[in-house]
Amino acid sequence: MFGVVIAAILLQGGITYTAEFKPGDVVLVKVYRHPEYSDTFLVDVDTTIYLPLIGNIKVSHLTAKELRDTLYRRYSKFLKKPEIDVIPLFRINILGQVRKPGVYNITSATKVTDAIALAGGLMPDADPGRAIIRRGSKVIKIDIDKAITHEQTAYDVGLRSGDIIYIPRRRFKLSITTVYTILSTISLLILIIDRLSK
């Protein structure tokens, strides 16, 4: 999973940091020249993360920059002028007509195209134009086709941690030709049945 997350990040042209950490989110911490302290860390139910060498850090109400500054101060007690980067990842559920429905960690700069790719891509009968975002009891319309065409990011479409993207099945539409063919077939069957019954 770590490799998939890193691959997703490397696809980004830049990172837009989210301002709030929630339980279940993941934080990528990179301590340059010290790979033993670099990893992804889960935000616990009490909104803390545990990091090697420095222990628990409360991350609620911290921005990514504030967390980076906190880590710099903590690691400076043990390392000389540490270079640290913090990349927040947040959870979204992608459900419906995708090949691998499930929970995925993305950044706010992840393109919607890449998020859908993490879920295996769209099924042939998917209707991305009628997709919705479920946020608790709230339902928000999202045009995935537009988001893909305009290369919009999670930030652009307003995705938040814990959101559910649901992509429905395409509605079955009957063309005039199809309706005519069906009606003609039914009429023929009725005629045949009527003649056989005589």
Higher pLDDT, 21 or 73: 73
Taking the C-alpha atoms of residue 161 and residue 64, their distance in angstroms, rounded to an integer, is 15
Asked if residue 51 belongs to a domain, the reply is yes
Question: What are the tokens at 187?
Answer: 């009429």
Asked if residue 148 belongs to a domain, the reply is no
Please provide the average confidence, as pLDDT, over all residues in the chain: 84
Q: Look up the pTM and report it.
A: 0.67
Asked if residue 72 belongs to a domain, the reply is yes
Asked if residue 103 belongs to a domain, the reply is no
Asked if residue 116 belongs to a domain, the reply is no
Asked if residue 115 belongs to a domain, the reply is no
**What per-residue confidence (pLDDT) applies to 185?**
82
Nearest C-alpha neighbor of 106 from the set 181, 14, 31, 26: 26
CATH of the domain at 34: 3.30.1950.10
Nearest C-alpha neighbor of 145 from the set 122, 164, 161: 122
What is the secondary structure of 112-133 as a DSSP string?
HHHHHHHTT-B-TTB-GGG-EE
Range of the domain at 79: 2-88
**What per-residue confidence (pLDDT) applies to 175?**
61
Integer CA distances (angstroms), 22 to 63, 132, 139, 144, 155, in order: 12, 22, 20, 25, 17
Asked if residue 118 belongs to a domain, the reply is no
Residues contacting residue 146 through CB under 8 Å, at least 6 positions apart = 129, 152
* 138-168 tens-digit pLDDT: 999 988 888 989 999 998 998 888 899 999 9
Radius of gyration of the chain from Cα atoms? 25
Strand-strand pairing, 39-42 and 26-31: antiparallel
**Residue 158 — φ and ψ, nearest 5°?**
80, 25
Asked if residue 152 belongs to a domain, the reply is no
Taking the C-alpha atoms of residue 65 and residue 57, their distance in angstroms, rounded to an integer, is 14
Q: How large a percentage of the chain has pLDDT more than 70?
A: 87
Taking the C-alpha atoms of residue 29 and residue 70, their distance in angstroms, rounded to an integer, is 12
Q: How large a percentage of the chain has pLDDT more than 90?
A: 53
Span 33-62, average pLDDT: 92
Domain count for the chain, please give it: 1
